[in-house]
Structure 1
Amino acid sequence: MTRTDYRLFAALALSLSLHLLPFLPDTLPRPSPPPSAPALQAELRPPPSVESPSSPPLHLPDPPPQPAVATKPVPAKSQAAAPKTWTQAVREQLKKLDAAGQFYPAEAIARGLEGEVAILLIIDEGGQVAAARVEQSSGHPILDEAALRAARSLKSLPADAPRQTVLPVRFRLR
């Protein structure tokens, strides 16, 4: 026999012994099984409540007092027409939408849905809404979408409007 034959014979013998090893009686000591892990336990918890604490109302600082400057008196009619602050401008625009029936969705009224949506507004230098998103949902997608639509429709806000603010939009049935 040549050297290659011996190697082939040795490899065949080793392979045969390894394949027969599982069938031999317990001649080799087997390792002890690992300790069993404690049983996994799970419990169902009730879903978190939909009610969220109402967001605090938006408080704006009072404007600084204006120094008395001798100017022409403005007629009372134009003072009543022009809003004094940006929050009043927002209220007036939302009231116009409500009066036109475009604020509170008819489906939400029919279903008796109420809620409050917190909308994050980003306002550009021209007083236009550049971006809006829902910061805190009312729990009703139809009210969230209506609040976003109303916030995006705001136009020509006064110069004192902040560039970024959270606007609470409340939907209440009367």
Structure 2
Amino acid sequence: MSPIALCPPPAQPSDLSPPQRRALTVAAVVAHAAGAWGLLQMQAVQQALAPAAPVLVQWVATPVPAPQPPPPPAAPRPKVQPQAVPVLAVAPSPQPQQAPSVVVPEPAPQAVQASTPPSPPAPPALAAPPALPASPVALAATDLRYTVPPAQVYPRTSVRLGEQGTVLVRLVVDAQGLPTQVSLHKSSGHPRLDEQALQALRAARFVPYTRNGQALAWTAIAPLEYSLE
């Protein structure tokens, strides 16, 4: 592409005024600048169109390998005929001869006289032990014997209130002299005195009661008196 000159026809200097001369000069400068810019744009357009050139693609066929012939079949193996095994005949074993049976005569039965063994002597009669009582033996209060007597302690409140009386306590004592049951038989009328009497007799210990040399359990009514005099 060639630049186009936009130059107006020359005018006579005498025919133009000063403003027109300046305008003509500016127009000439602009025309030359446009031509130079057009030359520069031609190189840029050529450089931009160069990468966009068409690319030719050619398909190359891949060679297909020729098929290989199949392997030859294996030769058949010869059949082996089994050999016949000879059968040996076994001679029968001789049967043992039976010895002739001998009959032994049985001895004649003899009369056996039965003898009667002597009878053992009768054991001596043992004395029967004395029968034990089914229930504890009842003792009187005067028969009581202490190894640890009951500790009677007067309650302070009872002393301050002037409480007095006799407590009757029912006892059940085993063969070793240990109380197994302690219960109130008759109250003194004051609960503090009754409770102190029960505690005292629970801690008491008694001499074992024996009969015919044998210790027995017993029961009794033990009185405990509380008096301020």
Normalised by the size of structure 2, how large is the TM-score? 0.34
Normalised by the size of structure 1, how large is the TM-score? 0.43
Task: Answer 1 or 2: which has greater helix percent.
Answer: 1
Bigger RCO of structures 1 and 2 (CA < 8 A, at least 6 apart): 1
Q: Which has the larger radius of gyration?
A: 2
